[in-house]
Amino acid sequence: MLCNIIRMTVTVLSTGSVRIRPQHVETDGSPFAWWLLTSRRWTAPRPINVYVIEHPEGLVLFDTGQDRASLTDPEYFPRGLVRFLYGRLASFDLGPTDTLTAQLASIGHDIADVRTVILSHLHQDHIGGLPELGHAEIVVSATEWAQVSAPLPELNGVLADHVTLPGLRWTPVTTDPVVDPTIAPFTSAHDVRGDGSLVLLPTPGHTPGSLSLFVRMPGLRPLLLVGDLTYDVDLLWAGRIPGVGSRRGLRDSTRMVAQLRAHYPDLVVLAAHDPAAGALLDGARS
Ligand SMILES: [Zn+2]
C-alpha cells in the first residue's frame, strides 16, 4: 500500500565534486585497467550526490557522499599501488562546508535526525558520511556487504577500514522474490518501510550488490535512485553503459530500468554523479 496521506519530500545535496575519466562515464570498449592507467583527460566536475528523503517514519538518506578526510588525512588511502590507482580513478574537490553534516544543515536538517541510511554500494564516494552516522541504521545489500570481507576489497573499490567503523549499526538486506506487477520487470525487491514508498531493487553491474531505490510518493513523479548504474541519464536511456563494472550486468540492469519506464513513462532516474540530477529532481516536483 502506498502512503498517500502524509507528505514526503526528496531533496539532493552534494558533498563536493569529483572529476572522473571519460571512459568511466561511458565505455569505449577498452579494458578498465587500460584506460585507468593511460587516460589523460578528466571530465568536468560532477556532483557526489546524497538523496535526502523525508519519510513519516524518519529521515532517510540514499548514499552518504565522499569523506573530506580523504583529502585532509594523508593516511586515508592505503599507501602504494592502491593510493596510486585511486588517484588515477577520480579527482576530488571537497571544501570545508562539503561535509555531510554541513550540507544537511544547509537544507535545514540536523544529521542527528537521520534514522536510516541506504547505500547503493560501498565505494568510497558513497560511504564517506558514515563517521557522522553512528546513530542511524545503515542498510546495504548482503551481496555488497560480503565484499568487505572478501580478499583485497580495496581492489574492488571498497576501503574496508572506512566501512567497518566501530559503533555503526549495519543491516545487510536481500531482495526477495515478490509477485508485484507494479515493479515489473523486477521480480525481487526489499520494501524498506513496508508501505511501498521506498522499494529496493537489485541493479547489479557497477558492483555485484548494487541496489537502486524506487521512490513512490504523493505529489512527486516516481523516482529511481540508481547510484552508479549510470553517470548520465541520457546515456542510460540510449542503452549506453559506463566503463566500470560488469558489462553484462550493466547492460542487463540498464535494460530492466528501461522496461520499468515502460510502466512509468514519467519515471525520473537520479544517479549519484549525473550533473543533470538536481534539475531532474526539480522537474519531478512540477
Ligand atoms: Zn561506485
pLDDT at 56: 87
Model pLDDT, residue 77: 96
Position 8 scores a pLDDT of: 81
Q: Does any domain span residue 2?
A: no
The pLDDT tens digits for 64-76 are 999 999 999 999 9
Residue 246 has a pLDDT of 97
pLDDT of residue 84: 96
CA 192 / ligand 1 centre spacing (Å): 22
Q: How far is the CA of 225 from the centre of ligand 1 (A)?
A: 13
Distance between Cα 176 and ligand 1 center (Å): 24
Look over the chain and give the mean of its residue pLDDT values, rounded to a whole number: 95
pLDDT confidence of residue 233: 98
Measure the CA–CA gap between 268 and 168, rounded to whole angstroms: 32
Distance 207 CA to ligand 1 centre (A): 7
**From ligand 1's centre to the CA of 164, what distance in Å?**
17
CA distance 94 to 15: 7
Pair 193, 55: CB distance under 8 Å: yes
Residue 1 forms part of a structural domain: no
Which pLDDT score, from 0 to 100, does residue 63 have? 98
Query: How many angstroms is it from 220 CA to the middle of ligand 1?
Result: 27
Number of domain units in the chain: 1
C-alpha–C-alpha distance, residues 7 and 69, integer Å: 36
CATH of the domain at 198: 3.60.15.10
Cα 112 to middle of ligand 1, angstroms: 26
pTM metric for this prediction: 0.96
pLDDT at 6: 55
For residue 76, which of 165, 196, 147, 11 has the smallest C-alpha distance? 165
Other Cβ atoms closer than 10 A to 236: 24
pLDDT of residue 5: 45
The CA 153 to ligand 1 mean position distance, Å, reads: 13
Condensed to tens digits (0 to 9), the pLDDT of residues 213-233 reads: 999 999 999 999 999 999 999
The parts of the chain modelled with pLDDT lower than 70 are 1-7, 286
Kindly give the distance from the C-alpha atom of residue 18 to the centroid of ligand 1, in angstroms, as a whole number: 12
pLDDT in tens, 171-187: 999 999 999 999 999 99
Name the grid cell of 202.
537489485
Q: In angstroms, what is the span from residue 27 Cα to ligand 1's centroid?
A: 15
Range of the domain at 108: 9-285
- For the chain, the straight-line distance linking the first and the last C-alpha, in angstroms and rounded, comes to 24
State the distance from the centre of ligand 1 to the C-alpha of 218, rounded, in angstroms: 30
Q: Which residues contact 43 (CB under 8 A, 6 or more apart)?
A: 19, 20, 21, 22, 24, 25
Distance 159 CA to ligand 1 centre (A): 12
Long-range contacts of 106-114 (CB under 8 A, 24+ apart): 106/13, 107/11, 107/13, 107/52, 109/52, 109/59, 113/58, 113/59, 114/58, 114/59, 114/60, 114/61
Predicted local distance difference test score (pLDDT) of residue 60: 98
Q: For residues 252 and 7, what is the distance between their CA atoms, to the nearest angstrom? A: 34
**124 Cα to the center of ligand 1, angstroms:** 7
Domain assignment present for residue 3? The answer is no
User: Cβ of 122: how many Cβ atoms within 10 Å?
Assistant: 25
Neighbours of 222 (CB within 10 A): 19
Ligand 1 centroid to Cα of residue 89, in Å, is 11
Length of the chain in residues, anyone?
Answer: 286
Q: What percent of the chain has pLDDT over 70?
A: 97
